[in-house]
């Protein structure tokens, strides 16, 4: 195991933060796993503890047939942010920016560097593009903020990987994942292994999140240079490991085992691993995910458990206003799986309370909320 440490730029005088990457194994394939980019989403960090132990052992046994990089604390900036005793890991205090938005669009900057060098050799194109990605990131002007420096380091480690897992969680949720549609057939096994309740597919969710910055560069380049074979060489997913409180030992162990078995299936780890279960959720368009809001302020009672299969018109939650006696029952507008709920039981303007993954497309444009 190699421990790689990067000092983040723009630390305040007298302080500095570090990004730490653990690198295991060797070989032509690479997987990159990071946890808790939204710093208060801790199930991923807990799973990373289990992964680190197991990867160390696998490396000593000589069973790693590829490189696996693990970043258990992807966001040391957010992890230090507390407001009146409550962790605040989603938005950077300094800029107000969501830590998982606005990653560099690699395709745009790689394109002019490779235009005259592409060939009819697909694997050679992959090597060429990965080298160009590194060159693009190296040649960017110096970061002007700590967050920008952090994002570039994460992307630099991930952009040449074949498999990228960005471990997140929702407030309260069943496990679910996000991916581009082209890679769903491969992700299906991971979804089955983690017992995902939903898989949300989008070509471009808007917002340039980390997983889409990794996978998106390839389909964009393939589209732009349609005369050349450019495979979608980076499978990337945002894997939501349930809800924020889901850091139990048993769940973390199961999550780590599921991820390792999946990586073995991808050719990164040797040995006998269990096959993926047959049962798996159906993938649905991310544009079919209904974000359900309350019609007014008030205290909330949920009427459906996580993972419930709901029909159009099924009641999802009630909102009570104890001052003016308003009472609303909010119902599903789409049929699908209730995969996430708000943690707080108070309805506030602009904040969703329930998410339902349906097959019907309901939304357009930018699909990611902030
Ligand atoms: Zn997140």
Tell how far the Cα of 341 is from the centroid of ligand 1, in angstroms: 14
Classify strands 82-83 and 86-87 as parallel, antiparallel or unpaired: antiparallel
Distance 171 CA to ligand 1 centre (A): 9
**Ligand 1 mean position, distance from CA 200 (Å):** 14
pLDDT tens across 302-360, in order?
999 999 999 999 999 999 999 999 999 999 999 999 999 999 999 999 999 999 999 99
C-alpha of residue 197 to centroid of ligand 1, in Å: 17
Average model confidence (pLDDT) across the chain? 97
Q: Could you give the domains of the chain?
A: 2-281 (3.40.630.10), 286-358 (2.40.50.100)
Distance 38 CA to ligand 1 centre (A): 5
**pLDDT band (50, 70, 90) for residue 369:** confident
Distance 36 CA to ligand 1 centre (A): 7
Q: How far is the CA of 321 from the centre of ligand 1 (A)?
A: 31
C-alpha 161 to ligand 1 mean position (Å) = 21
pLDDT tens-place string over residues 1-23: 999 999 999 999 999 999 999 99
Over residues 22-76, the pLDDT tens digits come to: 999 999 999 999 999 999 999 999 999 999 999 999 999 999 999 999 999 999 9
pLDDT given at position 262: 98
Read off the pLDDT of residues 199-215 as tens digits, 9 standing for 90 and up.
999 999 999 999 999 99
In the chain, the percentage of residues whose pLDDT exceeds 90 is 99
Residues with CB under 5 Å of ion ligand 1 are 38, 41, 168
Distance 60 CA to ligand 1 centre (A): 33
231 CA to middle of ligand 1, Å? 28
Distance in Å, CA 92 to ligand 1 centroid: 13
What SS3 string covers the chain?
CEEEEEECCCCCCCCCCEEEEEEECCCCCEEEEEECCCCCCCHHHHHHHHHHHHHHHHHHCCCECCEEEEECCCCHHHHCCEECCEECCCECCCCCCECCCCCCCHHHHHHHHHCCCCCCCHHHHHHHHHHHHHHHHHHCCCCCCHHHHHHHHHHHHHCCCCEEEEEEEECEECCEEEECHHHHHHHHHHHHHCCCCEEEECCCCCCCCHHHHHHHHHHHHHHHCCCCCCCCCCEEEEEEEEECCCCCHHHHHHHHHHHHHHHHHCCCECCCCCCCCCCCCCEEEHHHEEEECCCCCEEEEECCCCCCEECCCCEEEEEEECCCCEEEEEECCCCEEEEEECCCCEECCCCCCEEEEECCCCCCCCCCCC
């Amino acid at each position: 195991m190699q421990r790689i440490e990067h000092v983040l730029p723009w630390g305040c005088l007298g302080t500095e933060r570090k990004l730490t990457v653990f690198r295991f194994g060797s070989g032509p394939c690479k997987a990159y796993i990071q946890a808790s980019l939204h710093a208060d989403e801790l199930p991923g960090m807990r799973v990373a503890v289990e992964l680190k132990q197991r990867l160390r052992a696998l490396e000593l046994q000589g069973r790693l047939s590829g490189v696996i990089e693990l970043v258990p604390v992807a966001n040391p900036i957010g992890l230090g942010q507390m407001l009146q005793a409550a962790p605040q890991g989603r938005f950077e205090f300094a800029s107000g920016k969501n830590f998982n938005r606005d990653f560099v669009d690699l395709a745009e900057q790689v394109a002019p560097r490779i235009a005259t060098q592409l060939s009819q050799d697909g694997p050679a194109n992959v090597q060429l593009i990965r080298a160009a990605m590194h060159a693009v990131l190296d040649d960017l002007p110096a970061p002007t903020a700590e967050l920008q420096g952090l994002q570039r380091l994460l992307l630099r480690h991930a952009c040449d990987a074949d498999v990228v897992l960005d471990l997140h969680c929702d407030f309260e949720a069943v496990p679910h994942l996000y991916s581009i549609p082209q890679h769903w057939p491969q992700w299906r096994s991971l979804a089955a292994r983690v017992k995902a309740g939903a898989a949300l597919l989008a070509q471009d969710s808007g917002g340039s999140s980390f997983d889409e910055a990794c996978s998106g560069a390839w389909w964009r380049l393939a589209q732009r240079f349609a005369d050349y074979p450019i495979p979608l060489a980076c499978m990337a997913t945002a894997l939501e490991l349930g809800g924020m409180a889901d850091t139990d030992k048993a769940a973390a162990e199961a999550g780590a085992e599921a991820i390792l078995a999946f990586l073995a299936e991808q050719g990164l780890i040797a040995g006998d691993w269990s096959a993926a279960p047959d049962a798996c959720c159906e993938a649905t368009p991310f544009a079919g995910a209904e974000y359900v809001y309350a019609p007014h302020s008030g205290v909330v009672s949920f009427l459906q458990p996580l993972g419930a299969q709901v029909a159009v018109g099924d009641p999802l939650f009630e909102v009570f206003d104890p001052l003016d006696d308003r009472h609303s029952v909010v119902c599903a507008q789409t049929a699908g799986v209730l995969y996430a709920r708000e943690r707080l039981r108070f309805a506030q303007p602009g904040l969703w309370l329930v998410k339902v993954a349906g097959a019907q497309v309901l939304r357009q444009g930018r699909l990611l909320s902030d």
